[in-house]
Amino acid sequence: MSRLWLNLPNLISLGRLLLVPLAISLILEGSYWAAFWIFVIAGVSDAVDGFIAKRFDRRTSLGALLDPLADKALLVSVYVTLGIAGQLWTWLVVLVVFRDIMIVGGFLLFQAIAVVPKPVHPLFISKINTGVQVALVWYVLARRGLGAVAGPGDVVLGIAVAATTVVSGLAYLVRWARILGRSEQAL
């Protein structure tokens, strides 16, 4: 079976990446309901490309980079845009973006100094964090799409995002310290 770099899962991931400017534009225009559905489509496409890649053995090195890039680009862009639109707390947006920059930067640094075995899988708390982040975006976009004002749901989900973001970021720092500790002992 050919390992084409531009296979169906990669095309789906690329399509999700191309949804980022559309989602940003819709939020800035105040078209929250349309942005909600773009975000839902992106989520479904993420599940579909992953299923196809695994089920039909269509995994590629490009897909291993493109899929998480599309996910992070969409989520971070929507968080920043919702912050600009006054729909999320600025401190929460800064926290989410800082954690992602820290994780991507740490990953790139460890790849550059070659102390991390490939592939590096996300931590379980990171998966929980992503799920809570997505839930907050869905909630805010749906709430605004229906014309409702912020309420207790925003506070509860916002605090859950903040808590899991901090715990996830700290967990990555601990992971990296352990990896560095092992590599220094080997020298």
CATH number at residue 75: 1.20.120.1760
Residue 120 lies in a domain: yes
178 domain residue, yes or no: yes
Asked if residue 14 is part of any domain, the answer here is yes
Q: Model-level pTM greater than 0.85?
A: yes
Does 114 have pLDDT greater than 80?
Answer: no
Residue 87 has what DSSP assignment?
S
> What are the DSSP E strand ranges found in the chain?
none
- Indicate whether 2 pLDDT > 70: no
Q: Is residue 3 situated within a structural domain?
A: no
Run of H or E including 38: helix 32-55
Evaluate whether residue 157 is within a structural domain.
yes
Query: Quick one: pLDDT at residue 97?
Result: 98
How confident is the model over 6-37, as pLDDT tens digits?
A: 789 999 999 999 999 999 999 999 999 999 99
* Structure confidence at residue 1 (pLDDT): 39
Domain count, the chain: 1
Has residue 99 been placed in a domain?
A: yes
Task: Name the residue with higher pLDDT: 136 or 177.
Answer: 136
Q: Is residue 1 part of a domain?
A: no
Over range 122-140, report the average pLDDT: 95
pLDDT at residue 111 in the model: 74
Does any domain span residue 23? yes
pLDDT tens, position by position, 64-92: 888 989 999 999 999 999 999 999 999 99
pLDDT number for residue 186? 47
Domain range for 90 is 8-186
Nearest to 176 by CA among 96, 109, 97, 101: 109
- Whether 144 has a pLDDT exceeding 80, the answer reads yes
d(CA 133, CA 136): 5
List, as own/partner pairs, every contact residues 46-52 make where C-beta atoms lie below 8 angstroms and the sequence separation is at least 24, other chains included. 46/16, 46/70, 46/71, 48/12, 49/8, 49/9, 49/10, 49/12, 49/13, 49/16, 50/9, 52/8, 52/9, 52/12
